[in-house]
Structure 1
Amino acid sequence: MNLSETARQQIREASPLLLLLVGRMTIYLLFETGSSWSGIAVYVRLLFSLLMFYFIACFIHRVAAALSVLLIEMLLIQANHVKVSATGVPIVASDIAGLDRSLSLVSGYVTPGIQITVVALAIIVFLGWRYRRRSWREFFGNLPLGLLLPLLVGMLAFSNGMAAGMVRNGLCRIQICHVAWRPLVNVAMNGLPAQLVMTSEAVAVPERGPHSFYEERRSGLLTANQPDVLLILCESCFTTFDQRFRTPMFQFVDQGFTPFTLLSPVYGGNTAEAEFETLTGLSSAVLPGIEYQNFAERFRSDSETLVKRFADSGYATISLHNYFGGFWSRDRVYPRFGFQESIFLEDMGWESASDHRLPPDKILFDRALDRYENAAADQKMFMYLITMFTHGDYADQGGDHGRGDYLRRMNQSMGELAAFLVQMEGAAQRRKRPLAIVVFGDHKPALSRVLFDVKVFPPALFGASDLQDSSFELDWDPAPEQWKIRSQATAFVRLADPEASQALADRLDDLPMFCLPAELASLTPGNDDAFWEGVNAICHQPKDSLVRYRGDLWQQEFPLEIYAERLF
């Protein structure tokens, strides 16, 4: 081999790496520098791009491997933008792992850019496989570095906590650190491939042990008259009680409901976290990730929850949701949480060729009313409804940033809900049963720009003094007062006694969502009074002290051992 042939060989071997380097830096400069511009950010991104490259190059042509890495990076950036816009939080490994169970909802968020990127990636991978160099020398040349990425993921996802901790500590020593309560900063500093790797850690089930949770206790104040209970989680439903952003939800004030606010653990999405708090009475911030995703098969079959308390008191416990049971693994979680019957969209006989992603809430209400009216006259009922029609995202119409679409859907859904509640109260009277109703939004809608424009969100909530159209991302580490504004979710209650309704609303106003089930638990006798009295004691602390979002702070109130005792 002469010198020119050697040079050409070296160029052929170096060109994929050069393509990867130039392409990755271009992507960073064009699409990511708004979040972080630092040497460490560049270093971490290039490192993980190289790890992906050598892994993929074990199977396809090296040029195709470089192009595939760049397309994967672009795909992740686009998917992350969609999720952050809708929920305020970035993508994590469980989003990828659970994609098969949520594809029907995810399809509604697939932008043309994502579609084009997926098609391009499929073509490049096919051509790279078709024209790969069938050389054992090249395969083994890529293999040592190619194994590093699956080794990292494997040690995080499938090893014990000690091994995963060693990996995390080792990565942090080389400036790749991940802190659970600052997800947007993690992405800004480390990039999305590192974010997926670092969030792939298998979450260990909490272990039982001694704890001091029961030392402080306070009894619930509601009368245990065992009414039928109708608990409605209204997807992204929100209104202000003043004129700033009054939506059709406000009509319940005029219909005899008492308004109040709850502090949601989430904003714009991740409804399962709000559900977890309202069904278990535990903070969703302590256990990492989304509990429904991480522990669906590991929750105890007789988990101690608000639902089980009512079931143990002779109630029929029924959940209804006009969406697919597989989303957020509700079909696996609900039976373990004490629901004797769960009815999902696939059980409602609804079909629509035009808009499969947003089934109207009326089909949910019709099914719930039918189920209630046909219950035995002496059967106590606990019914938990989760609506769907007002789920984001919201179409921008004429530069209104989604406001019109949201209000249109709210108008339809709230009209259907109001009619349903009148019918339910009529049915309760015919059954000669008292009925307790709570309607609450799981979180504010993902309308950050709209909420800023109407002065619900102050500029400080975004951590920036100069807000542009493209920069309405919530501050990852807000001050308590800012977190409170972000978290306030709308709620209404109507009990048989209007004075009891007002007193309950006053007690719960601006408290975390897990305080709601602690109050409702006292509507019926049970065997777990000590737990609910412990939650009530937490909820009677000064309200300002309960404005927290970090798991390490909430763990001071909810030790891991209480999660193990109640759920595992």
Structure 2
Amino acid sequence: MNVLFKTTSLISNNYRKKFTSSLLDFFFIIVFFTLAIAEIKNPAPLPNYLYSLLHYLWLASPLPLAYIFLRLVKLPSFVSAYVVFLLLKLLEYISGIKLSLTGEVLSWNDLFSQSNITIAKHYLTAWPVLLLFLAISLCVILCFISRTFYTTKKNTIVLAISFITILPFSFYTHFSSLFGEDSIFSRKMILLAKEMNVTYKSWNWPENLQDNGMAMHVVMTSSRKSAPLASKNNKDTYNLEKRAGSKELPKHKTVIYVLCESCWYDNANFKEIITPILNEGFVTFRATSPVYGGGTANVEFEMLTGFASNSRVLSGIIYQEYATQFKSHTDSIASALGDKGFITYAAHNYLKEFWHRDTVYKKFGFERFDGLYEMSTISLPDQIVAGRKKWQWQPDDYLLYKSAIEHLKKADGKNIFMNLITMSTHGPYPHENDSGEYIYTFELKQAVDRFVDFYKEVKEIDPNAIVVVYGDHKPALNKFFMNKNVLPSNLFSKTGENDNDFVFKWDIKPTDYGDVPVFVAAGNDKNLEKLAQEANNQPYFCVSSLIDKYLINSGLTSFRYNVKNRCFDTSHSYEEKINAMPSWVYSMALFEGDEK
């Protein structure tokens, strides 16, 4: 009797375990569908309830798919659910921080680009680290609890079938690259997605996040927008225009672009700090940056290539998304001037790998690119070392300018184009009983002093040198800007005491936050005033095109196209300007053909 009783009890207990494990899986899958659907902020117009149900299930699919995947690799139900939930909340947190400080939302490459970690670590505080420790501890506890459950073979089969069923819906944006755009499978899925109003808005990631939820947004951004193609007629037209540009003669022998990290002022804020630059004879005007608080690479992309970084043709951080896709000899101002006999030099007093500049600059036609490692032989003067503050983690711009002057002297009067990316004013800007303006003021003053010293040396070498200094974006001084009405409170959906507390509304545009300064000197060139008038308040791809028109004459095809199509026309909206360039011009300049 005892044996029979024990056997019966064991069978009953096993049945209960099997039932509980299956029920848990069903419950958690429903929970993750619900959580993902709750993330979708913008309702889609659909003909009936069935379409709406399928639409939301499709968009929600990556979250339950992640749970099922973890279950299939033998993680217990509770642990799998906990890990997926934790990852979702972590993604939301990181995206919120990025949105607060840059106006941009999280993307796939943000998570897997190693160089981003070198900057991100400076924004970490003790709280996230402590919470991560507690989260791991709880995961260990759940592992012990989960030992009372196990998964049956039947349940594993059901999970596997569910995984195979959901997978195509979660990763449909990858089908064209995996199977080809003309494959039946790709075309069917794309048509079905259109019918269900499932759309990847690669040209507007904040809106894409609102429409599709965090999980689907991250998956979608892992599929970069494909490089455009050009027809034979397009290629002939482009090559004809390129040959015409190659015959133009440069106007100055020294051209220096200086991207001044987070450098900003207006008539009411920080102007006295900028005054030394104006005293050196620079003309100044405003430009419209495509980014806020970060995304520097997209600004320099616009300046170097003459293409909009936020058009419908390309997506994301361009260097990060397309570094491997760019052809070996990309058409940029560096390559155009290089073809005219210019020495082409780039320098950045930070890691060369950041934003994949080490790959991109080579393709853009820079003969040499110096990073922090190449500047390691330069010693900071004792006065600078003594004046550094505990919160100054950024390498001093002295290193950048010292390196640039050395190479300018080595050029020995030959034509040279230099592209310099500063670092001293990079965020974050901790609050010192204020809204971050004390530290920003200190760093901006140092940056201006370093630049003015550099410019004085440049003038001694070539008094007629073209020197363009441009702020890539506003610093992420959210609270300060709101208090000063630089960024009105109605641009934010959420505000708070710290800069990280602020969240931009999803539909704001570069014209709302992108106002930044540009300074240009070119000796006694009479075209400076005309340039300032036409370039004022224009997008950076237009600013660079007009600088080329009036001062440089590189003959770069995209610059010529922008000028011919009057990118500076004030009657055209910002949206019209960024989408005016045909996709085939992008294709020919950046992706197709590799003849030099």
Residue in 2 that maps onto 1:318: 345
Conserved? CA contact 1:155–1:167, under 8 Å: yes
Conserved? CA contact 2:261–2:472, under 8 Å: yes
Q: In the alignment, is residue 231 of structure 1 matched against residue 246 of structure 2?
A: no
1: CA distance between counterparts of 2:452 and 2:230? 44
1: CA distance between counterparts of 2:165 and 2:130? 30
Q: Which amino acid aligns with 2:297?
A: A
Deviation at 1:329, TM superposition (A): 0.5
Q: Which amino acid aligns with 1:514?
A: F
Conserved? CA contact 1:247–1:410, under 8 Å: no
Greater mean alpha carbon deviation, residues 501-510 or residues 3-12: 3-12
Question: For the structure 1 residues 238 and 164, does the alpha-carbon distance in structure 2 shift closer, same or farther, using more than 3 Å as the test?
Answer: farther
Q: In the alignment, is residue 562 of structure 1 matched against residue 588 of structure 2?
A: no
Q: Which amino acid aligns with 2:303?
A: T
Q: Which amino acid aligns with 1:325?
A: K
Residue in 2 that maps onto 1:61: 76
Deviation at 1:172, TM superposition (A): 5.8
Alignment gaps of 5+ in structure 2 = 1-7, 45-51, 380-384, 592-596
Q: Give deviations 1:393-421, integer Å, cap 9, x for gaps.
A: 322332x3322222222122222122221
Q: In the alignment, is residue 74 of structure 1 matched against residue 104 of structure 2?
A: no
Q: Which amino acid aligns with 2:582?
A: P
Q: Which amino acid aligns with 2:520?
A: V
Q: In the alignment, is residue 96 of structure 1 matched against residue 111 of structure 2?
A: yes
Q: Which amino acid aligns with 1:13?
A: S
1: CA distance between counterparts of 2:391 and 2:353? 19
Residue in 1 that maps onto 2:569: 542
- Identity over the aligned pairs, expressed in percent? 23
* TM-score for the superposition, normalised by structure 2: 0.80
Question: For the structure 1 residues 378 and 369, does the alpha-carbon distance in structure 2 shift closer, same or farther, using more than 3 Å as the test?
Answer: closer
Q: Which amino acid aligns with 1:379?
A: K
Mapping for residues 2-151 of structure 1, pairs under 5 Å: 6-7=15-16, 9-15=18-24, 18=27, 47-59=61-73, 60-98=75-113, 100-116=114-130, 118-119=132-133, 128=143, 133=150, 136-147=153-164, 151=168
Q: In the alignment, is residue 408 of structure 1 matched against residue 442 of structure 2?
A: yes
Question: For the structure 1 residues 436 and 166, does the alpha-carbon distance in structure 2 shift closer, same or farther, using more than 3 Å as the test?
Answer: farther
> 3-state SS of the aligned residue for 1:201?
coil
Q: Which amino acid aligns with 1:65?
A: S
2: CA distance between counterparts of 1:384 and 1:461? 33
1: CA distance between counterparts of 2:552 and 2:320? 30
Select 2:228's aligned residue among 179, 200, 206: 206
1: CA distance between counterparts of 2:415 and 2:24? 72
Deviation at 1:24, TM superposition (A): 9.0
Q: In the alignment, is residue 363 of structure 1 matched against residue 393 of structure 2?
A: no
> 3-state SS of the aligned residue for 1:266?
coil
> 3-state SS of the aligned residue for 1:57?
helix
Residue in 2 that maps onto 1:268: 293
Deviation at 1:87, TM superposition (A): 1.0
Question: For the structure 1 residues 173 and 447, does the alpha-carbon distance in structure 2 shift closer, same or farther, using more than 3 Å as the test?
Answer: farther
Question: For the structure 1 residues 18 and 117, does the alpha-carbon distance in structure 2 shift closer, same or farther, using more than 3 Å as the test?
Answer: farther
Question: For the structure 1 residues 298 and 188, does the alpha-carbon distance in structure 2 shift closer, same or farther, using more than 3 Å as the test?
Answer: closer
2: CA distance between counterparts of 1:165 and 1:475? 35
- Aligned alpha-carbon RMSD (Å): 3.9
Greater mean alpha carbon deviation, residues 45-54 or residues 78-87: 45-54
Select 1:282's aligned residue among 307, 313, 320: 307
Question: For the structure 1 residues 525 and 266, does the alpha-carbon distance in structure 2 shift closer, same or farther, using more than 3 Å as the test?
Answer: closer
Residue in 1 that maps onto 2:427: 392
Q: Which amino acid aligns with 1:475?
A: K
Residue in 1 that maps onto 2:4: none
1: CA distance between counterparts of 2:412 and 2:430? 45
Conserved? CA contact 1:305–1:338, under 8 Å: yes
Deviation at 1:153, TM superposition (A): 5.9
Q: Which amino acid aligns with 2:468?
A: V
> 3-state SS of the aligned residue for 2:256?
strand
Conserved? CA contact 1:512–1:546, under 8 Å: no
Deviation at 1:77, TM superposition (A): 1.2
> 3-state SS of the aligned residue for 2:208?
helix
Question: For the structure 1 residues 151 and 310, does the alpha-carbon distance in structure 2 shift closer, same or farther, using more than 3 Å as the test?
Answer: same
Conserved? CA contact 1:68–1:121, under 8 Å: no
1: CA distance between counterparts of 2:224 and 2:569? 36
Conserved? CA contact 1:64–1:124, under 8 Å: no
> 3-state SS of the aligned residue for 1:384?
strand
Conserved? CA contact 1:213–1:557, under 8 Å: no
Alignment gaps of 5+ in structure 1 = none
2: CA distance between counterparts of 1:493 and 1:186? 37
2: CA distance between counterparts of 1:537 and 1:364? 36
Q: In the alignment, is residue 428 of structure 1 matched against residue 445 of structure 2?
A: no
Mapping for residues 410-489 of structure 1, pairs under 5 Å: 410-428=444-462, 434-462=464-492, 472-478=502-508, 483-489=510-516
Residue in 2 that maps onto 1:330: 357
Q: Give deviations 1:307-334, integer Å, cap 9, x for gaps.
A: 1111112111000001111111100000
Q: Give deviations 1:336-356, integer Å, cap 9, x for gaps.
A: 101000001122218999779
Select 1:372's aligned residue among 403, 408, 428: 408
Conserved? CA contact 2:343–2:411, under 8 Å: no
Question: For the structure 1 residues 21 and 67, does the alpha-carbon distance in structure 2 shift closer, same or farther, using more than 3 Å as the test?
Answer: farther
Residue in 2 that maps onto 1:348: 375
Question: For the structure 1 residues 501 and 395, does the alpha-carbon distance in structure 2 shift closer, same or farther, using more than 3 Å as the test?
Answer: same
Conserved? CA contact 1:248–1:410, under 8 Å: yes
> 3-state SS of the aligned residue for 2:435?
coil
> 3-state SS of the aligned residue for 1:347?
coil
Conserved? CA contact 1:247–1:407, under 8 Å: no
Q: How many pairs were matched up? A: 546
Conserved? CA contact 2:210–2:506, under 8 Å: no
Question: For the structure 1 residues 58 and 421, does the alpha-carbon distance in structure 2 shift closer, same or farther, using more than 3 Å as the test?
Answer: same
Q: Which amino acid aligns with 2:306?
A: G
1: CA distance between counterparts of 2:319 and 2:254? 27
1: CA distance between counterparts of 2:459 and 2:265? 24
Q: Give deviations 1:108-154, integer Å, cap 9, x for gaps.
A: 23344443455566667778599695865444332222345655565
2: CA distance between counterparts of 1:304 and 1:509? 25
2: CA distance between counterparts of 1:359 and 1:53? 43
Greater mean alpha carbon deviation, residues 353-362 or residues 452-461: 353-362
Question: For the structure 1 residues 101 and 289, does the alpha-carbon distance in structure 2 shift closer, same or farther, using more than 3 Å as the test?
Answer: same
2: CA distance between counterparts of 1:168 and 1:322? 45
1: CA distance between counterparts of 2:369 and 2:186? 37
Deviation at 1:37, TM superposition (A): 10
1: CA distance between counterparts of 2:193 and 2:563? 41
Question: For the structure 1 residues 296 and 458, does the alpha-carbon distance in structure 2 shift closer, same or farther, using more than 3 Å as the test?
Answer: same
Conserved? CA contact 1:55–1:149, under 8 Å: no
- When Rg is computed on C-alpha atoms for both structures, the one with the higher figure is 2
Deviation at 1:502, TM superposition (A): 2.2
Conserved? CA contact 2:238–2:557, under 8 Å: no
Question: For the structure 1 residues 376 and 323, does the alpha-carbon distance in structure 2 shift closer, same or farther, using more than 3 Å as the test?
Answer: closer
> 3-state SS of the aligned residue for 1:445?
coil
Question: For the structure 1 residues 216 and 384, does the alpha-carbon distance in structure 2 shift closer, same or farther, using more than 3 Å as the test?
Answer: closer
Question: For the structure 1 residues 185 and 401, does the alpha-carbon distance in structure 2 shift closer, same or farther, using more than 3 Å as the test?
Answer: farther
Q: Which amino acid aligns with 2:473?
A: H
Deviation at 1:335, TM superposition (A): 0.8
2: CA distance between counterparts of 1:280 and 1:96? 27
Q: Which amino acid aligns with 2:413?
A: D
